[in-house]
Structure formats: C-alpha cells, structure tokens
Structure 1
Amino acid sequence: MRKISATLVLGALAASFVLCSCKKETIEPSKVPIDVSSGAPYAADFHSESALSSDYDSTILAHYRTGRAGSFTGVGGIRIDYRVFEKSGGSNSEKGAIMLLPGRTEPIEKYAEVIRDLGNQGYSVYAMSHRGQGESQRIISDPQVGYVDDFADYVADTATFASNVVGAKSHPKKFILAHSMGGGIAVNYLHDYPNDFDGAALSAPMLGLNSGVWPANVTFELSQEMVNTGKGESFVPGHGPFNPNLKFTDADNDVTRSQARFGAKMRVFLDHPALQLGGVSYKWLNRSLKMGYKADKSSFAREVKTRILLFQAGNDTLVRNDYEDRFCGAAPACQKETFSDSYHEILMERDSIRNEALAKAIRFFNKLKR
C-alpha cells in the first residue's frame, strides 16, 4: 500500500480509527510494565524464514487447512468469514485463546505461519477476515477497491466475532493479536468492551496516517468533497488494483525486508485471485481520518484500560509513530517495544525481528493473570 506523496495529496494509505460512543464499566489494571525482555519462549522456538521455501506446503499450509472455516452476518448483511484453530482437548490443554485481527488487504491465509507458531505455544487461534477484504464479502461492486461505509462497522463485526465465536467456548484466558488496521480496530474495540479480553499485542497499529507533507485536515477536506460529489467508491490518486507483478526489490514494497515472507504473501494472492485487494477509496480514507480525530485524543486513550503491548516499527512509512507514542503514553496499561530496524509488517519481517516480536507477545500473554 502506498504513502501520500507531496504531489498526490489523496494517494495515501489511510489508517483505521473507529468511533463508537459505547460506554461500559472499566477495569483498573496495574500500570507496572510486564517484563518481556527475556525467558521462554525464545526467538529460536518460532518458524524460520529459511525453511519457508521447503516446508510451506507440507507444514505451514497443511496446518492452515486443519482450521475450521465459518462465517457470520456482519453489519448491513455483509458476510464475515473466519477460521478457528483449536488446541486439542479444548480448555483442558490450551493456555488461552488469541483473536487475530489482520491489517488492511490481508486475508487470514497470509498469517498461516503466525497461526502455526501460536498453536505450537499452546494457544487456540480465532482469525477473522474484515469486511470488504480477504475471504469476507466485498461491499461494493468493484472487488479491488478498499471501501467501508463506517469504521464503526469493523468494531461491530469484531464484537460479534468475539462474543459468538471466540466466546462460544470457555478459555483460560483471552487475548488479541492485531496488526495495522486490525490494531486500530482492536484499540477501539477495547475502548468499548474493556472487560472482554485479558490483554492485547498490537503490531504497528494504525493510530495515525502518514500523509507526507500534507496535513491530515487538508486530506480530510478533499476526501470529504469527493465523497459529497459521489466519488466515494473511486480510488484515491496513486492507488489502483492489486499489482500481481510487484517485486521484492520494488519501491512499493515498503513493508518488509524478508524476501521469503514477501514471496509467501505474493503466493497467497496469486494462488487465490479472489483474495486480492487494491488501494483505498475516497470514502475509506475519509472515514479513517474522521475516526482518527477521536482516537488521537488523550481522553480516548485514558479509557482504554486493557493491558496492551505495542510493537513499533522504526522504519514504518505507512503509519505515524508519534500517534502510537501519544496513545501508549496516555493509555494507563500500555507498554511499548520498538524494533528500530523493522518496516511496517513486523510479524512478516526477518527472523531477528519477527520471531523476537512473537516471543515477546507470548511472554506477555503467559504472564498476564486473569
């Protein structure tokens, strides 16, 4: 996904911020950070990118296909698909359940390697495909356009998934693992439903849009004008359909420096063209910015009281780290881990980054008490 350039005001990747006016009883966790710096599991306990080319089919995809596929009806009658990977024996053997929320454009299958690693650490995984992308139903006629009517729809879908699917069985503990847009959705969900999960690990959450040299308010006003004139379903400038010819060395690959994991991602999209999604629409961008104004307020962050481990990418060009800093500084139970050499997709990065992030997330989950 592309950044906004100085000449293309609206050619940006928009971050996702969902506004909901829900108010529920909150919890008061300790502000003392949990030590995730060392101990089991270790980075070496997770799958290596060097093995992807040899065991992707026999190991990664084979495990992915054991997942139980399902769907439910989301806001406005949109079909939301999901996949469940339960530990054998149910709650008697699992350490807990992890609700996995991918980023924009990402199908569940892109996380096949991550899902297997989480299962090997004793966790059941409940992965959801957001409306309008991945395995779920598209919202408008052009399946390549990233579109949403309201970011609150993402949060409402997530609430249904958490209640009716993740919550259908009893679990020792429940956690969220979310990336990018999924992280923005998770933050808003936790704001509105503070007692549902024991903790969350957020990878480069979209809490601020990188709009280049253009202020967000300029981008917002221009996108609002395009929505008002009936162009809400159109691509913003610089965006278009999915590029099947994207190469690892292309400038547009600004999300990972793991060639093996980049290749695995492209294979998912090329093997399953129906999963492909292109750039964002004017309405998607507009709704993202509109909700972002709310999410960036310290008063909002102070009401997100669930334990959060926030992973920040030092080389992130898609979301703004200063927004993450402000949120984590204001949220009463947020702690931050920075990967200075990482690009946006921390969970799809080189082993030295990706596996250390997963190890820290599992240490965090293992140490949290219900």
Structure 2
Amino acid sequence: MPSKYPCVEFDNPYNLTTESQLADKYNDEISQFWDATITEHSLQGVDNVTLRYASAVINKTGPAIVLLGGRSESYQKFRELIYDFCKQGYSVYCVDHRGQGMSDRLLKNLHKGHVEHFRDYVTDLKLFIDKVISPTQHSKQYLLCHSMGGAIGSLYLQSYHHDFDAAVLASPMFGINFGQIPRPIANVYSRAMHIVNKIIHTESFYAPGKGDFAHSPFENNQLTHSPLRFDIFRRSYGFYPQTQLGGPTINWLQQSIKACRRAIQYAGDIKTPTLVLQAGGDEVVLAEAQQQFCRALSHEKNQHQPAEPVLIPGAAHELFLETDIFRIPALTVALNYFAKH
C-alpha cells in the first residue's frame, strides 16, 4: 500500500521510534532490549490448549498494559511497539490467542486460522488476567487491543468491569469488510457453508478465497503504508515459522460475525473508560460498525464514554505498524488516554 500522503510535520511528545531510526535500531537496541527484558511463558486455556505469552516487566508496582493482537498475529510482531511502551515506563504483557502465533493450533492443518467458539478467546483472556495479571502489584492496568483483539477485548469488558482502568481499541473488528458483497449476503453464505461443513463432518474448511500461508508483496497489502515496518513483520515469519498462519476457516468466520454483532449490541454494558481509534483508510474492517459501537457505548447512563471514534485520517488497518505520520499520532492519543486514567 504505497502512501498517497506527503511527509507532514507532527508532534512526537513521547519520543516514539521513527522510521528513520528503526532500520538501525531494530537489529541493535530493540533486539538487545528484547533479549534482556522479555520473558516467555505458557498458560493452559480452555480445553487445555496451551497459550503462550510474553511479558516485559519494567516496574513491578508501575502501570501495565495488556496487549491483544489481531487474527494471525503473535507477540513477535510487536517488538517495536512493546519497546516504545516500556520506554514510557509501562510493563507490557502480550498473549497469543489460541490457534495462532506461538500458541497451540486447533486443527491438523496448522495453517488454518480457526476457533470453535469465539467466547473461548474471552475465557482464555479471563484465565490469563486471573492467573498472570491479578497477582501482580501494578498501580494501573490498561488494555490495548488491535483488530480481532478489539472484539475480544470489548466482549471481555462487557462482563468484567474492574480488571482495567482504561482501554484503547485500535481498528477494532466490529464488522468485517467483505468488499463488494453486502454484509447480509455474506452472512447468509457463510452460515450456509458452515452448515454444509457440519453435515459432511470434515475439518473446518477455509473461508472462500482463503488458503495456506503465503508471502505477499508490499504493493498488494491492505495493512500499512510503511515498507520498512511491513518488511520487518513479514521477515519475522521466517525467523519464527511456527507463527505463520493462513486464512480463516468458515467456522472462525461464522463465529466472528456473531461476535461482532454481540460486541455492538452489548457495548453499553462496558463501564471501563474505552476509546476507539479508527483508521481512516481501513479496508479490512468497517468504520460504520465502529461508529455503531461507540454510539451504543455512550448511552445516556454511560456518558463518560466517547461517543465517536478518534479518527486517524488516511491510515491503513495496522495503526501500530503504519508510517510515522499515522502511527505516532495514534499512539500519542492512546498514551494520553491512559495517562488521564
């Protein structure tokens, strides 16, 4: 996704890593930080699925961020982001969702992005919070979510009101972009395929047009305008081939459609201060669904909640991997929001 936006001046009050620094910094300072600071652990989730997570504890009594990635992502992808947050004094915990990243896969074909029940993601998160985060003495606990992680995080916050002091949902998945196919037709088609899959009793097959992991060029990507950050995260799949994941299964798709609906329907149950960051050029998830979520979130008894997303004009889906003119303003908004809570 080559950028259509010229270089513009923007504030960088937190001195976040810039692209001009990143090429040298990633293999030097950030790699040294990762080796010295990050510890990797495992936890048993629903149905005894092994979940793997990374932690960077900077200060045992200081503030902490729990980071939830999107579909197919691993904590290995977020090295620069975790480094930047730790430099601000936050400890960071990042768990790989079941069926992806460094965590256990759920099907024989290890490339299939699958989940049996979307609520398993939420239950896994609760187990993680109770067993890993709650025993700590962090002064504040914040939730930062990206894409599918935003759907998981919102469903979690609807049920558990006291685990986090504030939450930021970046490009949250409240509606999947099916392109030219209207959502109602896509929903009916996916449900029909799901029924057929159940009837023939076979491993959940790929959603239409999806398949095993394959490297894709920067020019075809919908995720970021930054060639450098795109290249770094794609190269991580070579260093950690176990994190490679193909497309979603039809069961994942059906479960996710239902989860998006629930996330919006019960958004008003969220009591934790929650901010949505919206990527203005997002082609992966729907801006309209994010606006519906915010309207439901900020009803008359919940007026402390923002009624609209914070728009990052022109940004692609991956705000945390975007070029500086989008990434730094997005992270500045998130850090400012956490600082206020």
Of 206, 213, 216, which residue of structure 2 is paired with 1:242? 213
Asked if the contact 2:151–2:260 (Cα under 8 Å) also holds between the matched residues in 1, the reply is: no
State, as a whole percentage, how many aligned pairs show the same letter.
34
Larger RCO (alpha carbons 8 Å, 6+ apart) = 1
Quote the Cα distance in structure 2 between the aligned partners of 1:232 and 1:315.
Answer: 35
Amino acid at match of 2:339: N
Asked if the contact 2:107–2:203 (Cα under 8 Å) also holds between the matched residues in 1, the reply is no
**1:220, 1:286 within 8 Å by CA — same for their partners in 2?**
yes
Distance 1:125 1:272 in 2: 21
| 1:76 and 2:47 matched | yes
Following the alignment from structure 1 to structure 2, what is the Cα–Cα distance between the partners of residues 68 and 261?
A: 23
Structure richer in helix, relative to its length: 2
SS in 1 for 2:218: coil
1:290 aligns with 2:266: no
Partner of 1:146: 113
Q: Does 1:301 align with 2:271?
A: no
Could you give the per-residue CA deviations for residues 275-316 of structure 1, whole angstroms, max 9, x where no partner exists? 10010111111111122332232xx11111211111001111
Please say if residues 264 and 296 of structure 2, whose CA atoms lie closer than 8 Å, have aligned partners that are also in contact.
no
Distance 1:302 1:47, change over 3 A: same
Asked if the contact 2:268/2:296 (under 8 Å) is kept, the reply is yes
AA paired with 1:50? S
Aligned counterpart in structure 2 of residue 85 of structure 1, from 50, 56, 76 = 56
CA separation in 2, counterparts of 1:48 and 1:295?
34
1:134 maps to what in 2? 101
Q: Mind listing any 5+ residue stretches in structure 1 that lack a counterpart? A: 1-40
1:107·1:129 contact (CA, 8 Å) conserved in 2? yes
Q: Distance in 2 between matches of 1:129 and 1:218?
A: 30
**Matched letter for residue 235 of structure 2:** R
User: Structure 2 vs 1, CA of residues 43 and 232 (structure 1 numbering), >3 Å: closer, same or farther?
Assistant: farther
1:320 CA displacement: 0.8
Residue aligning to 1:255: 223
| 2:233 partner amino acid | K
Tell me by how many angstroms 1:177 deviates. 0.6
Q: Is the 8 A contact 2:19 2:323 kept in 1?
A: yes
Pair 1:276 & 2:244 matched? yes
- Counterpart position of 2:339: 366
Q: Which of 51, 57, 69 is the equivalent residue of 2:27?
A: 57
Q: Which residue of 1 aligns with 2:317?
A: 344
**Separation in structure 2 between the aligned mates of residue 319 and residue 226 of structure 1, nearest angstrom:** 26
Distance across 2 between alignment mates of 1:69 and 1:265: 19
- Picking from 113, 118, 123, the partner of 2:90 is 123
> How far off is 1:352 after superposition?
1.1
Q: Please give the per-residue CA displacement for 1:228-279, whole angstroms capped at 9, x wherever unaligned.
A: 23355211221111112x11112xx111001110001111111111110010
- Deviation of the 1:43 alpha carbon: 4.9
CA distance in 2, matches of 1:218, 1:97: 41
Amino acid at match of 2:168: A
CA distance in 1, matches of 2:339, 2:263: 29
Q: Deviations over 1:73-132 (max 9, x none)?
A: 0000100001110114x21xx2x1100001111110100000010001110001111001
Residue 327 (str. 1) matches residue 293 (str. 2): yes
SS in 2 for 1:209: coil
Cα offset, 1:166, TM superposition: 1.4
Query: Partners of 1:44 and 1:301 in 2: how far apart?
Result: 31
TM-score, structure 2 normalization: 0.90
- Output the TM-score relative to the length of structure 1: 0.83
State the distance in 2 between where 1:235 and 1:192 align: 31
User: What amino acid does structure 2 have at the position aligned with 1:355?
Assistant: I
- The residue that corresponds to 2:38 in the other structure is 67
The one-letter amino acid paired with 1:201 is: V
Give, in whole Å, the separation in 1 of the partners of 2:274 and 2:23: 34
Q: CA deviation at 1:209?
A: 1.3
Aligned to 2:16: 46
Q: CA deviation at 1:44?
A: 6.0
Instruction: Work out whether 1:316 is the aligned partner of 2:316.
Output: no
Report if the CA contact (8 A) 1:220-1:289 is conserved: no
Distance (whole Å) between structure 1 residues aligned to residue 267 and residue 202 of structure 2 = 33
CA drift of 1:215 comes to 2.6
Q: Which runs of 4+ in 1 moved over 6 A?
A: none
Which residue is 1:9 aligned to? none
Aligned-pair Cα RMSD in Å: 1.6
Distance 2:127 2:196 in 1: 32
Letter in 2 for 1:198: D
Question: Are the aligned partners of 1:144 and 1:276 in contact in 2 as well (CA < 8 Å)?
Answer: yes
Q: Unpaired segments of 5 or more residues in structure 2?
A: 1-10, 299-304
